[in-house]
């Protein structure tokens, strides 16, 4: 095993529970190979998930994909970051591209597409993507994620329908006076 792998595994093992140890291990791994896509991806995740610095996270993800367009580990996190940063068109393009890659976790990418539609309040499209994700799901975790996201979207549909019903003008029952 290469030394970089040792430090990378330590960083992955520590993330997100011990950020200080994660960063220390990542820095060592980075010093061995500054172009390692797993290292760059984890740096991006820390920027997005812990520091909410989406622009910096995007830079790390772009750098990783610049090194290897087939770095499958990057796509899901990069798409999530784009959605959180409200870069919806860019997220949609990346989703479409990711779905063309051999070996990509299609269920996960389709769930990201459902989330993209969800944040754009296109709930019916989101539910359609969840159905597709279920078809591609081969892990219990993916199935659970599908179910949870589907419940959340259906609750939002119910919420929006209740709002529409409450906004309808009520018929007045005024009595005619003679």
In a domain, 37, yes or no: yes
H or E element, residue 155 = helix 140-167
pTM of the model: 0.88
Q: Looking at residue 169, what is its pLDDT?
A: 63
In a domain, 43, yes or no: yes
Please tell me the distance from the alpha carbon of residue 136 to that of residue 103, in angstroms, as a whole number. Answer: 12
- 3-state secondary structure (DSSP) of residue 18: coil
Rg of the chain over Cα atoms, rounded to whole angstroms, equals: 22
Structural domain that includes position 40: 6-104
Q: Looking at residue 175, what is its pLDDT?
A: 52
CATH number for 49:
1.25.40.10
Helices (H) and strands (E) in the chain, counts: 9, 0
Q: What is the pLDDT of residues 23-76, one digit of tens each?
A: 999 999 999 999 999 999 999 999 999 999 999 999 999 999 999 999 999 999
In a domain, 50, yes or no: yes
Provide the terminal-to-terminal Cα distance of the chain, rounded to the nearest Å. 96
- 3-state secondary structure (DSSP) of residue 174: coil
Residue 162 reports pLDDT greater than 70? yes
In a domain, 61, yes or no: yes
In a domain, 136, yes or no: no
Domain count, the chain: 1
Residue 176 reports pLDDT greater than 60? no
Q: What is the pLDDT of residues 119-147, one digit of tens each?
A: 999 999 999 999 999 999 887 767 888 89
In a domain, 82, yes or no: yes
Cis peptide before 16 (omega within 30 of 0): yes
Q: Looking at residue 139, what is its pLDDT?
A: 78
C-beta of residue 41 within 8 angstroms of C-beta of residue 22:
no
Summary mean pLDDT of the chain: 92
Q: Looking at residue 178, what is its pLDDT?
A: 47
In a domain, 172, yes or no: no
In a domain, 125, yes or no: no
């Amino acid at each position: 095993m290469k030394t970089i792998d040792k430090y990378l595994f330590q960083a992955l093992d520590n993330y997100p529970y011990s950020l200080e140890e994660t960063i220390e291990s990542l820095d060592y791994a980075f010093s061995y190979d500054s172009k390692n896509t797993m290292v760059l991806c984890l740096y991006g995740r820390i920027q997005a998930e812990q520091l909410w610095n989406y622009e910096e996270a995007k830079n790390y993800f772009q750098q990783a994909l610049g090194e290897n367009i087939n770095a499958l580990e990057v796509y899901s996190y990069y798409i999530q970051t784009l959605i959180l940063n409200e870069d919806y068109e860019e997220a949609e393009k990346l989703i479409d591209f990711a779905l063309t890659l051999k070996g990509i976790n299609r269920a996960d990418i389709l769930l990201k597409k459902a989330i993209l539609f969800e944040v754009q309040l296109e709930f019916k499209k989101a539910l359609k993507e969840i159905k597709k994700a279920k078809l591609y799901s081969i892990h219990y975790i993916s199935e659970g994620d599908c179910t949870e996201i589907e419940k959340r979207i259906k609750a939002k549909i119910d919420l929006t329908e209740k709002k529409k019903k409450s906004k309808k003008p009520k018929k007045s029952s005024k009595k005619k006076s003679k």
